[in-house]
Structure 1
């Protein structure tokens, strides 16, 4: 029994027509807490629970924090999530909905993270949003499922924030004998730490995040993601906020599933930039985003029009 569910892998006719190739979507937006994050975070929380940890601490105002809160409730272990001041009230509400404590601190995730780490006691476990081997191994289950559910893809498309999903997918590809399958790593302009790092040849840190895709808002990808992007065939792509949001809106029309712009970044390639794809059969990770609402989509759209 795991805290995540096996999600559908389906061929998307609308995306396939738009991209002029067979596009398959792994629907991790359907995970109980709303995103792929529960795969790795759930596995890590289960391990920490077996080791006798009595509280989970995390530092995320988005999908990771919600996943930790969900895991804690399911396992009967208290959770404290430190969020920055930029966190939406909806995200805080979703964390509290899982009976977790929310502490608002600092202007950025980095400041919230520093406080969370300083609070760590002997009986506590710290759940990092993306930089943890336990998370990567858990996220790799996404590819394990895809290998059971369908044929080998010619490429995997995914969104990159801190790089946790990238690390997990590459681990999954390797352990299923799909080492040669390239990964197309997508970011939005203004949250493109990986793309800039690869272009420069060293891991850079963005001065600030200038994108509405806040779930991609790590100013620096983790070291392991940067290393794997140079060892595995990884192709970096950057899309605009407008393209990411437009992809969310089209995906809602096509599949009745609402995702956030961080997820829309990946969907933007088959919708609007099919030339960036490789091969005849492409797997797109629909990573989710539970904080997205129709009202929030309208606010993002208005902000981009301004």
Structure 2
């Protein structure tokens, strides 16, 4: 990618986390914190990467996990959750319905692990930036994918702690999932009437209020890409580095490949390769054919 763009591109390879995505940072911090406070059961409402991360953490901490997922959850995600030893409950047509049931299961000894909207998650995700800084790198721009905004909040927290307030963040979304782009335009949280497209891990109808608040503290801009561009970028990463990621992660990779106006002045670019476990190579190849 550096050769193609004529820039120095750094890849923060969160796809190589044991559970396959950056979610382990925040979820791990949240689970450990709740365990230290006496939690004996974790509940999550994510049928994607966050749920898999909670299941992994529960297995490592020897604490049982229940994950409530909507009926739209893929067979691949269900398989991964069960392989990690989680109890899986399928309920409702949407994440909101699954989340309502999950919230009803809480008691004094049960901790709810939110997929993206929790300061404990953001604090855990911030360690990503600390590691980059410890490696002696300060980029001219940071590119990441945004859905609900948990990753963005954590990266922004870490950048602020490291004194990188002058480094712009480019938030990448696919066209059908661009609730953060609409929120930046309005300088307020905007809810989409619906989310569409294949990058389902970005499928929050609205971002967290904290993600929007960070845009008033740090220079944050938005880049939208098509589903096809996200898939093409994910397959290109597989060719270049032999690592498979979801289209949701491909959005950030595609934003850099577009060499957008927001990145024109940057010579050193850090991309958070956030990963993802619910897409397979066969799916990516099928999307590549159908989207063409």
- So what's the TM-score if we normalise by structure 2? 0.97
In structure 2, what is the equivalent of residue 161 of structure 1?
Answer: 147
Determine the C-alpha separation between the residues in 2 that align with 1:299 and 1:129.
Answer: 28
Contact persistence 2:234–2:244 (CA under 8 A): yes
Equivalent residue in structure 1 for 2:272, among 274, 282, 285 = 285
CA deviation digits over 1:241-269, x for unaligned, max 9?
A: 11100000111101100100000000002
In structure 2, what is the equivalent of residue 253 of structure 1?
Answer: 239
In structure 1, runs of 5+ residues without a counterpart are 1-14
In structure 2, what is the equivalent of residue 301 of structure 1?
Answer: 288
CA deviation digits over 1:35-90, x for unaligned, max 9?
A: 00000000110011111101000000100000000000000000000111111011
Aligned length: 291
Equivalent residue in structure 2 for 1:66, among 52, 55, 64 = 52
In structure 2, what is the equivalent of residue 125 of structure 1?
Answer: 111
Determine the C-alpha separation between the residues in 1 that align with 2:174 and 2:260.
Answer: 16
Structure-to-structure mapping, 1:1-306, within 5 angstroms: 15-277=1-263, 278-305=265-292
Tell which deviates more after alignment, 160-169 or 289-298.
289-298
The Cα shift of 1:298 comes to 2.5
In structure 2, runs of 5+ residues without a counterpart are none
Determine the C-alpha separation between the residues in 1 that align with 2:262 and 2:111.
Answer: 40
Tell which deviates more after alignment, 180-189 or 294-303.
294-303
The Cα shift of 1:20 comes to 1.8
Distance 1:107 1:302, change over 3 A: farther
Contact persistence 1:185–1:235 (CA under 8 A): yes
- So what's the TM-score if we normalise by structure 1? 0.93
Contact persistence 1:269–1:276 (CA under 8 A): no
The Cα shift of 1:18 comes to 2.1
Determine the C-alpha separation between the residues in 1 that align with 2:92 and 2:166.
Answer: 42
| CA RMSD across the alignment | 1.1
